[in-house]
Structure formats: structure tokens, C-alpha cells
Amino acid sequence: MIRVTRTQKPDLLADNEANWKRAIRLASTDAARKNAQDKYKHDEIKEALIDMFQGKCAYCESDITHIDYGHIEHFKPKGTPAYYELAVDWDNLLLACGRCNGAENKGTKFPLADNGGPLVNPVEKEPSKHLRCDFDPRLKLANVLGISKRGETTQRTLGLNRPQLLKHRSKFVAKLWVIASRYHEDNEARRIIDLAIYPQEEYSAFALAVKESL
């Protein structure tokens, strides 16, 4: 997970957010509320999120858009009464992959402080204060480790070390590790590692950890 700067609110939301929130607030039935909340499902909003997160999952940093459409993720779940209106609040929207946002991982979960939360939001907090990217060159495993209570809760809730993600990410980082071993003597190796830490690149937080270990 990397820090992401929140971009400007899409014009569609800037023009309609207040009215949409009012409709949610005044909804007299669950069906009416859902209809009002679903205004967030708009191409302009989705494209703005794709641009902001550069096509990557806000949580696991996996590339999304070449294999899937991705989810508009509500950091604070829109099904919780206290957060109903946040369904159409730009500051509550992220881009996530279907696995991080799936019911088996985050889903509608939002642990509070007494349960080890809140989760780390990459547009509000610096993830590296709570999570560490650890690569074991002997075992060739690239694990995300919680270094605070919130970090541990975030890693566990989002499934940031779920088996298939860990397998894919570890193969990727193992290759970077080999390339990085020639960083100081090979211009092409140096170029590859220097590019890999760019925020638009998959698993850039791990690439940075590899470079900092040199």
C-alpha cells in the first residue's frame, strides 16, 4: 500500500453531491435509500478513481484495469446507518480490486479503535507508518507486515497476505531482488529498479523496500 493524494472532486459530484446526500437523508424506505445511494455508480466517478489510483487497487497495489473493471470501494461502508450519506462522498471513495473488497476480506467491515481499527486509508494516512513490506530472499516471500495495531488489523482484514496474492507478489518481488543485486554495476538494472518505484507501477511499495535495502 502506498500513500495516494486525493484528486479534485469530479464535476458530476461537485454539482450533485449535496442533492444526492439530501435524497439519501430523506429516503423513507430501504429501496429509496439504495436508489439514492447508487448515484455513485457513474462512469465519470469511476474514471476519476482509476486516474487517481493509476489503475491499481488502493489496498494491495495490484494492477486492475487490464483484467477487471475494479470496484468503487466505500472506505466507510455505505450500508452502515452512520455512513449512509458517504455513499456519494468523494472523500470516502477508493478504487479496489474485487478480492480486497470482497466479503471474505474487507467487504462491509470497518473495525473501530476498540477492535484494532480504524483501517489504514492510503489517502488519509501514510501506510508505511503502519505496514511494512518485507521480502525474505531465502524463502522468496514478499509479506505485508503490520507494525502497529492498526496495521495488523488492516493486513488481516484486507487479506494482504492471502495465498494467491502472496504467490503472485512474491514471484514479482523475487525478480526485482535479483535485478537489484546488480543495481550499482549495471545501468539497465538500475533503470528497471528506479522505474519500479514509481507510484503507477504494480507493488511499488515493495520495489521501494528492495531499493532501500541495497
pTM of the model: 0.95
Phi, then psi, of 133 in degrees rounded to 5: -90, 115
Per-residue pLDDT of the chain (214 residues; tens, 9 = 90+): 999 999 999 999 999 999 999 999 999 999 999 999 999 999 999 999 999 999 999 999 999 988 888 999 999 999 999 999 999 999 999 999 999 999 999 999 999 999 999 999 999 999 999 999 999 999 999 999 999 999 999 999 999 999 999 999 999 999 999 999 999 999 999 999 999 999 999 999 999 999 999 9
- Using alpha carbons, list the distances in angstroms from residue 187 to 173, 190, 204, 208: 19, 5, 20, 18
